[in-house]
Amino acid sequence: MAALFIASSVLASGAPATEQWLAVSHHLSVTDSAVDFTRHGTQPGLSYDLAETNQCSGCHGGGSAPSSTFRPYPTWAGSMMANAARDPLFFAALDIANKDAPGVGDYCLRCHTSRGWYRGHVVKAGFGQPDNSVTLGASACLLTGGYDWEDNLDNDYSGVPYHYCHRLSDTGPGGEPAMIGNADAWVDDQACDASAGEPCRRGPYGYPTGSVPPHPWQQSAYQTQGRLCGLCHDVTSPDAGSGPLKTLKLANGTDTGHAFPIERTYSEWNQSLFADLIFRDGFDDLPADVPALARAEQCQSCHMPTSEDPSATACSLIGYPNRTGNLPVHSFVGGNTWVPGIIKGEFGDTSSIPGAYGGVGRQNSFDQTVTWTRQMLGNAASMRATIQSFTPPTGSAGSMAVRVKVTNLSGHKLPTGYSEGRRMWVNLQVHDANGALVFESGAYNAAGATLTLDPQVRVYEVQQGIFNANGTGICDIENGSGNAMFHFVLNDCVAKDNRIPPLGFKPATAADPNGYDLRPVGAIYPETTPGSGILVNYDTVDYSVPVPVGAVAPLTVNARLYYQLSSKDYIAFLRDEAVANATAGENQLCMSASNRPFVVGPQGRTRGEYMYELWNNAANNPIQPGYGKSPPELMQNASATTP
């Protein structure tokens, strides 16, 4: 009855339909502090704490060239995995998620601050139901340390330490099987042996002879398999006990009852030829005499490439074996070149800011991550442009038909991962012999960070929304005022998913015969052969180009493929939601927690406002005045010329 009263009051307010819907949903969201969004897997309260990174960096470091390009610590140190809890873009989205579903930040922070979560510094202080302040814990206010602290201190802001990954097990303490998604992980919490005093550090190597590591170890195939990565790189609407928070609705409003698939990077790979050359699920235990082409390519194959440096060693101590051709580099890069630069500028060196800790340091590692990321983006696709026909202008305008083919060379959809604001597009320009621009599709204005959505533009993205939010009977991705909305935890439908499939991609599975998790939406990718269920891994874009009178032949076509981490719409949404929700500035939000106020980061601003200022090149940092408006990265280009 209270809910009905709230709903009727809001509906009578005259606010736009989307605002009415959201206001009601906020009142009806889960508010009971006993609700558990992280019910599965190992819980906080470990008997053996996750080690601080400095315990590993002493032996696995060595930041000078060439060791900085292959040793685990310096290659990891600039990655987003190492800085997942310093990411201002994440924290701006976290505030909106907690507004939309109070307490759901526990579910988000489980991946972004592994050490902080397992130490009981989020919502759960120990096993069982929440026992910290839900508001403070879910907002990351109870984390120890700070954004600009080094990782060799009592710091929860370092993100995902590699001790976490090297303690993951494919079975639980009672023999429970490994899980996929939502960080439902099993963390080994038993002493390695009677004399060890700590759990084994699991990895791909065995040491039957030669130097043995100065810590307990266990050879483990799990650390070499893609399903380990699937723990955080498949994200589903959280299970709150009575069922998923949100279920998928189809274009006609039918509720499938299927837990809403938020991100599916792991599953995209697992349903591709990369994982299915012979079998699925990432198990690579084929006999040595099976040809290499029959072996599955794991996530680690691309995101932890093997170092070929002749000096490659995993350990800086003398006497350990050379690992040339057998040392996975802990680079973990994807497509994010923007935020590592922000973290470096905001938190890398804060020695000139009164009261600040002094900085994370490791500036070279951030630069190295950006360089490697650009290389990764360049290798993720190929592009070809062909002129199908050309009618030169004579007394009247001519015409040209152009085809651009974009092929996905990665092991998952392109682009993949977190959907909000992330996109890839084709920019096509035609110039005449004098250099005059004859035609352009997909024009981007860097100053205003705006992409022109002309009738022929091809933008690859996934747009998730809220069904019937505006009373339209469709999957709404804009609010009643026509502005894009990105409600991560409230989304229950997919308006568009035209991202390019990987090689050998098959959306349907026995568990999901309709392919609800992975299928394209609003786009058609043909089957490689009729009835195979396997989609092609490329897209062809056909352009009709009018050629004006006076254009001088020959004409040159230039096609460029761009990737952008965050659109202007997304950044504006983060700021506007913080204002609309009357979100407190970070220090005020966390004022009752210890270790406050911070003198770096948002401070008196909301996290959404801070992110907008970083995007807008606000001179809020005396060290680095601006970072650009999530500048697009050029992935590939192709050209063709008329006779």
> What's the rounded Cα separation, in Å, for the pair 231 and 177?
13
H or E segment to which residue 399 belongs: strand 398-408
> What's the rounded Cα separation, in Å, for the pair 388 and 400?
8
Interval 118-131: pLDDT, tens:
999 999 998 777 88
Tokens encoding 589: 């939000």
**Per-residue pLDDT, 501:** 98
* Residue 12 CA: distances (Å) to CA of 17, 116, 269, 552: 11, 44, 48, 63
**Per-residue pLDDT, 17:** 61
Q: Considering only CA atoms, which of 422, 573, 579 is closest in space to residue 485?
A: 573
* Residue 91 CA: distances (Å) to CA of 21, 96, 210, 579: 24, 9, 46, 15
Tokens encoding 149: 């602290």
Residues of the chain with pLDDT under 70: 1-34, 63, 209-210, 277-296, 618-625
**CB 265, CB 279: distance < 8 Å:** no
**Per-residue pLDDT, 55:** 82
> What's the rounded Cα separation, in Å, for the pair 385 and 558?
8
**Per-residue pLDDT, 212:** 82
Tokens encoding 466: 């809220």
> Beta strand 217-219 with 201-203: parallel, antiparallel or unpaired?
parallel
Q: Where are the beta strands (DSSP E) in 501-553?
A: 538-547
Residue 474 has a CB neighbour count (10 Å cut-off) of 16
H or E segment to which residue 371 belongs: helix 363-379
Residues in Cβ contact with 553 at an 8 Å cutoff, skipping those fewer than 6 apart: 392, 432, 433, 642, 643
**Per-residue pLDDT, 15:** 58
> What's the rounded Cα separation, in Å, for the pair 584 and 587?
8
- The number of C-alpha atoms within 13 Å of 351 and in the hemisphere containing its C-beta is 3
Residues in Cβ contact with 617 at an 8 Å cutoff, skipping those fewer than 6 apart: 625, 626, 627, 628, 629
**CB 425, CB 562: distance < 8 Å:** yes
What DSSP state is assigned to residue 344? Answer: I
**Per-residue pLDDT, 319:** 81
**Per-residue pLDDT, 151:** 87
Q: For the chain, what's the residue count?
A: 643
